[in-house]
Structure 1
Amino acid sequence: MNRFIIRLLINALALGIAAQVVPGIAYDGWQSVIIVAFIFGLVNAIIRPILTLLTCPLIVLTLGIFTLVINALMLLLTSSIAEALNIGFRVDGFSAAFFGGLIISIVSFFLSVFVRDDGERRVNA
C-alpha cells in the first residue's frame, strides 16, 4: 500500500509539473491532480499494455519513438475521462499531450530513481 501511495504522489507531481510547463494542460487544484493521477495510473495499467502490444511493429520500426505517441494518447484518454467525470483537468490537443507525456515520463523517471523500493532486493556485483 505504501508503494501505491508513493507512485500516486509521483504521478501527481509529474502531472502538476507538466501542467506548469506545457501550455494547453490545465488543472483546477491539487485535489483534482491527485484524482487524475489515480485515473492516469489505471489507464496506464489497463489500456497501455494492450495498446503497446497492438502497436509493437510500429514501436520496433521507429526504434521505440512511437511510445511517445502512446504516452500522448494515454494522457488524452485520461483528460477525456477527467472531463467526463467533471474533474478539473484538461489537455488541449495532441501536441500538448505529446509534450506533456514527455515531461511526465522524464519527471516520473527521475523521481522514481530517488525513491527506494523496499520490496526489491538489490544485488551488488
Structure 2
Amino acid sequence: MLVNFAIQTVINGIALWVAAWAVPGITFGTGQSTSSTFWTVAIVALIFGLVNALVRPIAALLSLPFIILTLGLFIFILNAAMLQLTSWLAGQFNLAFHVDEFFWDAIWGSLIITFVSLLLGFIKRPD
C-alpha cells in the first residue's frame, strides 16, 4: 500500500511538472535551481496526492447531482478545484507552485494531469 502511494506520488509529480511545462499559468517558481525545483515538485505532488485522497471523495459525493446532471463533465471542474486547492496549500507552506486562473489554467492543467497520470498509471503495480 505504501509502495503504491509512493509510485502514485511520483506519477503525480511528473504529471504536475508536465502541466506546468504545458500551461503558462501553472508555475513551479521561476529562477530556482534544479534541486530546489525538484523538491518543490516532490512536496507539491505529495500535497496533491493527499488532497486527492482526503478531500476529493467528499467533494465528489457532495457534487454527485452535478456530476450526474452533466453526464460526468463536472469531474473536470472538480479536478480543477483540487488543483487550485493544492496551489493554495502550497502557498501556505511557502512553496513556489501557483495556478493563476481557475477556469482556463486549472481546467487545462487538470486535463493534462489526468491524461499523463492515466498514461503513467499503467506502470503501477496491481493491488
Q: Same fold (TM over 0.5)?
A: yes
Which of the pair has the greater relative contact order for Cα pairs under 8 Å at 6+ separation?
2
Residues 12-52 of structure 1, C-alpha deviations (whole Å, 9 max, x = no match): 00000000001100003121011000000111111101110
- Hey, which bits of structure 1, 4+ residues long, moved more than 2 A? none
- Is 1:8 the counterpart of 2:17 in the alignment? no
Cα distance between partner residues in 2 of 1:116 and 1:2: 9
**Letter of the 2:70 counterpart:** T
Number of aligned pairs? 118
C-alpha change, 1:33 and 1:59, in structure 2 (3 Å) is same
- Written as runs of structure 1 = structure 2, the 5 A alignment for 1:42-121 is 42-94=50-102, 95-113=104-122, 115-118=123-126, 120=127
TM-score, with length taken from structure 1? 0.91
In structure 1, stretches of 5+ residues that fail to align are: 121-125
TM-score, with length taken from structure 2? 0.89
Cα distance between partner residues in 1 of 2:71 and 2:56: 18
In structure 2, stretches of 5+ residues that fail to align are: 30-36
Identity %: 47
8 A contact 2:20–2:27 mirrored in 1: yes
Cα offset, 1:2, TM superposition: 2.0
